[in-house]
Amino acid sequence: MLDFISRMFSKENTSKNVAKERLRLVLVHDRANISPQLLHSLKADLIAVISKYMEIDEDALEVNLSSKDTQVALVANIPVKKMKRAVGD
């Protein structure tokens, strides 16, 4: 994820690099055979479960798929504002 961010803000941020990164993300989603709707539902479910235990910044939450060789990983960046003292707070 940090690699992606550094590429986005680097001086070498050419149209070619941006297109290449977008294509990589499309291919990862395609290989994992997960539709954008399924990924959106997964993100909503993660928010619901995690929100029971901590207050999170839903607007800054990122859920993506990453691939390396033949493996696909779910990568989530979930900014935590604070922990809840008890379930239901």
Q: What pLDDT does residue 57 have? A: 92
Mention every residue, 6+ apart, whose C-beta is less than 8 A from residue 47. Answer: 56, 58, 61
Regarding predicted confidence, which is higher, 63 or 8?
63
The answer to the question of residue 88 being in a domain is no
Dihedral of CA 82/84/88/89: which sign?
negative
> Which structural domain, as residue segments, surrounds residue 14?
2-83
Question: What mean pLDDT do residues 17-32 have?
Answer: 70
Assess contact for 61 and 76: CB atoms under 8 A. Answer: yes
The answer to the question of residue 58 being in a domain is yes
Collapse the DSSP code of 59 into the 3-class scheme (helix H, G, I; strand E, B; otherwise coil) and give the result: coil
CA distance linking residue 26 with residue 20, whole number of Å: 10
Q: How many CA atoms lie within 13 Å of 33's alpha carbon, on the beta-carbon side?
A: 1
Highest mean pLDDT out of 33-42, 50-59, 69-78: 50-59
Tally of domains in the chain:
1
The answer to the question of residue 75 being in a domain is yes
